[in-house]
Amino acid sequence: MRLRRSFFDSQFLLVLNIVTNYAWLLPSPWRISMESVNMRHLLKWRRQQSPCSSITYSVQFQGEFELTILNGSWEDAVGCQQVTRTECDLTFDLGSDSDYSIRVRTECGRRVSPWAELGRPFNRRETILTVPAITLTTMGDALQVTFKGLPLTVGVTVTIWKRGELVRGKSSLRVITVQQNPLHIDALQEGAVYCVKAQAHLDTHSKSSSTDTQCVSITGPGPTWLKPTTVTVIVVILAGLVFFLSWSVTHCSPEACYAYFRKEPQPTALLLDWPLTRVKIYPQDELREPIHAVLLTAQQRVMSSREPSSQLDKWTQSICSEGTDRPYQV
């Protein structure tokens, strides 16, 4: 009896725990879908009702590289972590032609919902290619075909033919990429009408619908006399202009020249009207330090040798004092 009661108690607690945890779980996103147009991959989902007022979403993906090289790990989608919107641009995350598994979950603070996965793996080769927008421009005997909004990994097949020759199979096919946009077609027949249509393609299995046929008339490089005539007219105009300027310079009267080529007065800021101060420059001899020299005769030398040194010093000092204002003799 006790064993049966303990068994029912444990089952009751287990069911209560499951119900409680389920009641506190956040609902996962639903109706997850992938919209891929012209190699732009946009994941979308819908939000379910939840008592949480600040719900965010996070997206992860797993491709062949993550599955085989990274041991089945999931990578966070850049720019799609804890976002409030219900879509995620995975154009740069899905960078190969392998199959990708994608999942998204709801978050509210620390509480998270179970992961909800896309119904089946997605491959970017499944993208939908729209009809390319083209513009035709004629330049003499050449034709330029320009494409707008062409994705980097998408090529275009261009079909060109002269009107009336498509039925006979005389058409030209050109396959270009984004790097070759615009397409130049030279050496076309002057006066003929050429038609163009294009089709975008990703591989042999993914192609867009063809554009509407557009036809233009080739005007040609123009009349053969147009270029020589234009050059002649330009030379005549330049020669007349040079002659007029030469005549004006040689036959211009002083009054007319002054009227047409008037000299502007010098700005007052450049005029030198500051007071000048004279600087006295002394001769080089006056800047020298005076040197007192004494010329002794033979008799004075003999007398100086006989006199005491004290008397000689006094005599030399007297001569120096007397000779300060006289010319120096060295």
Burial category of 57 from C-beta neighbours within 10 Å (exposed 0-12, middle 13-18, buried 19 and up): buried
The residues near 109 (Cβ < 8 Å, ≥ 6 apart) are 52, 54
The maximal CA–CA distance of the chain, rounded, in angstroms, is 162
pLDDT tens-place string over residues 137-164: 998 889 999 998 888 888 899 999 998 8
Q: pLDDT class for 290, splitting at 50, 70, 90?
A: low
Please tell me if the domain spanning 2-126 has the same topology as the one spanning 133-217: yes
Dig out the tokens for 287 from the structure: 């800047």
d(CA 99, CA 117): 14
The pLDDT value recorded for residue 303 is 58
- CATH architecture of the region 2-126: Sandwich (2.60)
pLDDT tens-place string over residues 252-285: 666 666 666 666 777 766 666 556 566 566 555 5
pLDDT tens-place string over residues 178-215: 878 899 988 888 889 999 999 998 876 688 888 999 99
* Rounded (10°) CA dihedral 11, 12, 16, 22: 40
Burial category of 282 from C-beta neighbours within 10 Å (exposed 0-12, middle 13-18, buried 19 and up): exposed
d(CA 121, CA 99): 6
Note whether 135 and 146 are within 8 A (CB). yes
What percentage of the chain carries pLDDT values higher than 70?
65
Spell out the CATH class of 133-217: mainly beta
Q: Where are the domains of the chain?
A: 2-126, 133-217, 278-330
Across 225-251, average pLDDT: 80
d(CA 241, CA 249): 13
The label of the residue with tokens 């004075």 reads 300
